[in-house]
Amino acid sequence: MAALFHDTGHLPFSHAAERELLPDDWNHEMLTAEIIRSDEMIKIWNDLKIQTEDVVKLAIGKRYCKDCNFTDWEAILSEIIVGDALGVDRMDYLLRDSHHTGVAYGKFDHHRLIETMRILPKSYNDGSKEPALGVEDGGLHAVESMLLARYFMYTQLYFHRVRRIYDIHLKEFLKKWLQNGFFPTDVENHLQTTDNEVLAGLFKVVRDQTHPGHEYAERIVTRNHFRLLYDRKQEDISKNLEAPKAIYNELCKKFGEKNVRYDTDKQRGGDSDFPVYLNSNRRIVSSLSISDVLPKIPIAAIDFIYINSNCRSTATKWLNANRERIIKPSTEE
Amino acid sequence: MKRLQTDAVLLSLIEHMESKGSWCGETHIQKTCYLLEELFEDQLGLEFIFYKHGPYSFDLSDELTAMRADNIIKLRTKVQFYGPSLLPAENSQLIKNTYPKTIKKFEPIVKFISENFSSYGVPTLEKISTALYVTRKEDTDGSVGDRSMAIHKLNPHVTVEEARKTVKSIDLIIENAKGISFSTT
């Protein structure tokens, strides 16, 4: 039940602009919890003899169920659903997104992975142990393949420059289209606000030139989105860790804030350290100590700066002429 | 505090812990960072919650990953049973050059943390950070006995006697921390 309900709190178009379009201190996990705790669902949990709070706890995990106490067993169950390294939510979204977008990078041998998953004692340097989700050594390549798939899906799809600018324009449209600029947080209205409602609203606003969201809706529908001017370069980062932000600030001064957009994001979650059971000598070791692949998988990160297509050519020339000056490292005052 | 200033302090903590011979696995950094935050009034603004084995911050976990993306720290692996350790990477000098004042300001605090906690393994750090969590956050009468019982309740694998010893040592650490302040030079 917790796994089935895990994603029910998602807004239309999923993660696009969730932070900006929900009131302060709200996120989609809290909406999931609200749905699970709704009167309609409580009747069902009672019939099934399931404790409502158990479902909430396992569905959203400790990160978002901050005041809940988790036993070792509950922590493992929750990790199976929402865990960073081996959670089924991750397996599901990678395979689903890969299938629906035709991006083949997201595929991996999930049958093998699930078959070899085990609850194993994770060891610490003084010999103490705690139960954690891990795999038998025969499943290690399947995990490597999944975590590589995640990296490729981030770089090729989730962090794709064109997909990201559509998110930005969609957020701009929604900010003007939604009542008070926010999605509703009560269960009934949340469930009634779907992708279809947003798309219908978008096309309506395209025909209404007086609507404050008209410009953004039109950009999406006519594909006249802002164009990529700059993306994160390791060469620039190694000179100035804030190089993209510095470039964005200078572009705003030169071309005006309304013509420039900045998008920054990094993959979240911890490292891929989980226990691996070695069948040959019945030992349990850290995944990162025996895998040649896992420690080398990069962390996906983006810094995109977009420009209104009207100024693209001038901005490109200007940036080429000024980039080195802008990214010159500074020391704090 | 800006994100990169927080990163500069985290890097400094990792370097000080390592120079004192500590293994710098993520759990070590989680626990010592909690002690730094709780003893010195949430300077980094990282949110900690009580998880399976003591205070834990998902924000910090994300930030350490972001620091790896920026090549400020990297993982050292291939040591069996330990899990990976975090080490300064190629851009660590760059962040030190960019935020020398922040690093200098936090130096006495970071030194205090590394001098007091670098010799401990994860289980001891877990007990100490739990004792501080209970002292500061849990609803107890403040006595050694009541706090020891609260620790035992939160972590049943810690005996009441062990908890009692840890509470006494955290009280001493809290007192000693009062004499430490940010560098103003």
Write out pLDDT tens, residues A198-229: 999 999 999 999 999 999 999 999 999 999 99
- The answer to whether the CB atoms of A125 and B122 lie below 8 A apart is yes
* DSSP notation for A96-164: HHHHHHT-GGG---HHHHHHHEEEEEEE-TTS-EEEEEEEEGGGHHHHHHHHHHHHHHIIIIIT-HHHH
Whole-angstrom distance, CA of residue B20 vs CA of residue B119: 8
**CB neighbours of residue A51 within 10 Å:** 11
Whole-angstrom distance, CA of residue B162 vs CA of residue B122: 15
Give the lowest-confidence range in B51-60, B70-79, B160-169: B70-79
Residue B76's pLDDT band (cuts 50, 70, 90): confident
Q: Does A271 touch chain B (CB under 8 A)?
A: yes
A-B CB pairs within 8 A amount to 118
Contacts of A285 in chain B (CB under 8 A): 80-81
User: So where are chain B's domains?
Assistant: 3-177
Q: Are strands A129-136 and A275-278 parallel, antiparallel or unpaired?
A: parallel
Q: Residue B144 phi/psi, 5° resolution? A: -60, -45
**Has residue A196 got a pLDDT over 80?**
yes
The answer to whether A151 touches A296, Cβ cutoff 8 Å, is no
Q: Specify the DSSP class assigned to residue A199.
A: H
Give the residue on B whose Cα is nearest the Cα of A268. B62
CA B134 to chain centre: 16
Whole-angstrom distance, CA of residue A293 vs CA of residue A140: 10
Give the residue on B whose Cα is nearest the Cα of A274. B83
Q: Which residue has the tokens 């796994």?
A: A3
Amino acid at B110: V
Tally the residues of chain B: 185
Residue B79's pLDDT band (cuts 50, 70, 90): low
Mean pLDDT of chain A: 93
Structure tokens at B36: 């730094």
Q: Which residue has the tokens 């609260």?
A: B150
Predicted TM-score (pTM) of the model is 0.91
**Has residue A271 got a pLDDT over 80?**
no
Structure tokens at A28: 């989609």
Whole-angstrom distance, CA of residue A144 vs CA of residue A123: 21
- The answer to whether the CB atoms of A128 and B123 lie below 8 A apart is yes
Question: What pLDDT, on a 0 to 100 scale, did the predictor assign at position B121?
Answer: 87
**What are the Cα distances from residue A203, in Å, to A166, A217, A226, B28?**
15, 7, 19, 53
**CB neighbours of residue A322 within 10 Å:** 14
